[in-house]
């Protein structure tokens, strides 16, 4: 075989080897690209294939809450809506016993925040709670008087003076039950001129000068600003209420409701509640 033929064959082999290497390199690049896509997909989805980031919340969250939570929960509701565009938080504030009765009667709601464990038990015993209620704050009683305390009320005993007009929450309402517990601790009997269905109604009686004083929560005295004056009394330490919150079993918007409860129990939520005068759970 002459040198020219051998040279030609060597050239063909070299060209074939180059093509093979080029094809191999291209295949490797494709495999690397596919591997990258697979890795990216797996990092953005969970084991079930759903996105790891939480789904965007939307719709209305309906919260049934004790009247004493009105100011702080209203603030938290606005914060929640701001953090989750497309959501709306609506509230039904009132006496915890009345709210519990509404829930067990089928009123549609997502969250229940009660002013006592007793009223929450009404809902849990009826099977209308989803999970175990969690305590999130406590509240203590205080005497609300007219600004300047014209009747010079300094103690719980002063309220038993027949010359004074006093309002109490109904005994079935947490603030009323707590007031009775404080009276029992002091060995006192008090007959008010008015029993109110929730703590805000009792406070309003003072603000309108329909009564001289009312036994309410410290948070309500603080929320009223200069409209009333608060008088502390030692027996209130014997009647501190714990406030539980729970997701309701038939919540129409459970996903958003869970996040609202999380906000209430979070550091940000606790700061708002503490600023309103509530005690830590």
Q: Is residue 159 part of a domain?
A: yes
Nearest CA-CA partner of 259 in 67, 251, 274, 99: 251
- Within this chain, do residues 119 and 148 fall inside the same structural domain, yes or no? no
Shared domain check, 221 and 108? no
Q: How far apart are CA 226 and CA 229, in angstroms?
A: 7
**Domain that includes residue 131, residue range:** 59-139+242-275
The reply to whether 281 falls in a domain is: no
| 38 domain residue, yes or no | no
Same domain, 159 and 217: yes
The answer to the question of residue 229 being in a domain is yes
Q: What is the DSSP string of 102-124?
A: HHHTT---SEEE-SSHHHHHHHH
Is the separation of the CB atoms in 143 and 214 below 8 Å? yes
Q: What is the DSSP letter of 278?
A: P
Same domain, 163 and 201: yes
Residue 211 and residue 225 in one domain? yes
Residue at 135 is within a domain: yes
Q: Flag whether 270 is in a domain.
A: yes
The pLDDT of residue 25: 44
Q: In what order do the strands lie in the sheet with 87-94?
A: 87-94, 59-66, 111-113, 241-248, 129-139
- Same domain? For 124 and 82 the reply is yes
- Domain for residue 4, yes or no? no
Q: Are 211 and 167 in contact (CB under 8 A)?
A: yes
Residue 3 lies in a domain: no
Output the pLDDT for position 255.
97
Angstrom distances, CA of residue 189 to CA of 119, 181, 198? 24, 11, 21
| CATH at 261 | 3.40.190.10
What's the predicted TM-score (pTM) here? 0.80
Q: Say how many domains are in the chain.
A: 2
Closest CA to 248 of 87, 95, 122, 93: 122
Q: Do residues 145 and 233 both lie within one domain? A: yes
Mean pLDDT by 10 residues, the chain (281 residues): 45 44 41 37 33 70 98 98 97 97 97 98 98 97 98 97 97 96 96 96 98 98 96 96 98 98 98 97 94
For residue 111, which phi and psi values (nearest 5 degrees)? -135, 145
Residues 230, 112 within the same domain: no
Tens digit of pLDDT for each residue in 2-24?
Answer: 444 444 444 444 444 444 434 34
CB atoms within 10 A of CB 138: 13
215 and 150, same structural domain?
Answer: yes
The confidence score (pLDDT) of residue 44 equals 34
Residues 99 and 173 in one domain: no
Same domain, 79 and 108: yes
Is the torsion defined by CA of 91, 93, 97, 101 positive or negative?
A: negative
Whether residue 232 sits in one domain with residue 249:
no
**8-state DSSP, 190:** -
What phi and psi, each to the nearest 5 degrees, are found at residue 234? -60, -30
pLDDT at 242: 98
The pLDDT of residue 15 is 40
């Amino acid at each position: 075989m002459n040198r020219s033929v051998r040279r030609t064959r060597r050239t063909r082999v070299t060209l074939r080897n180059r093509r093979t290497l080029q094809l191999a390199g291209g295949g490797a690049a494709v495999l690397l690209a596919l591997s990258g896509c697979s890795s990216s997909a797996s990092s953005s989805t969970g084991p079930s294939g759903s996105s790891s980031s939480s789904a965007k919340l939307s719709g209305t969250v309906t919260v049934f809450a004790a009247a004493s939570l009105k100011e702080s929960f209203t603030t938290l509701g606005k914060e929640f809506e701001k953090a989750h565009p497309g959501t709306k938080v609506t509230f039904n504030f009132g006496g915890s016993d009345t709210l519990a009765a509404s829930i067990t009667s089928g009123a549609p709601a997502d969250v229940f925040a009660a002013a006592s464990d007793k009223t929450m038990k009404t809902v849990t015993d009826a099977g209308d709670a989803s999970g175990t209620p969690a305590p999130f704050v406590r509240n203590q009683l205080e005497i609300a008087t007219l600004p300047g305390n014209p009747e010079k009320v300094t103690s719980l005993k002063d309220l038993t003076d027949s010359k004074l007009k006093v309002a109490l929450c109904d005994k079935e309402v947490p603030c009323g039950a707590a007031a009775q517990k404080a009276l029992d601790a002091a060995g006192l009997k008090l007959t008010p001129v008015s029993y109110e269905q929730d703590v805000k109604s009792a406070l309003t009686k003072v603000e309108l000068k329909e009564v001289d004083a009312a036994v309410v929560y410290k948070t309500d005295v603080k929320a009223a600003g200069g409209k009333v004056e608060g008088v502390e009394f030692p027996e209130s330490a014997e009647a501190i209420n714990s406030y539980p919150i729970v997701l309701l079993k038939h919540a129409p918007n459970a996903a958003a409701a869970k996040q609202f409860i999380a906000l209430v129990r979070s550091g940000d939520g606790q700061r708002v509640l503490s600023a309103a005068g509530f005690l830590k759970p």
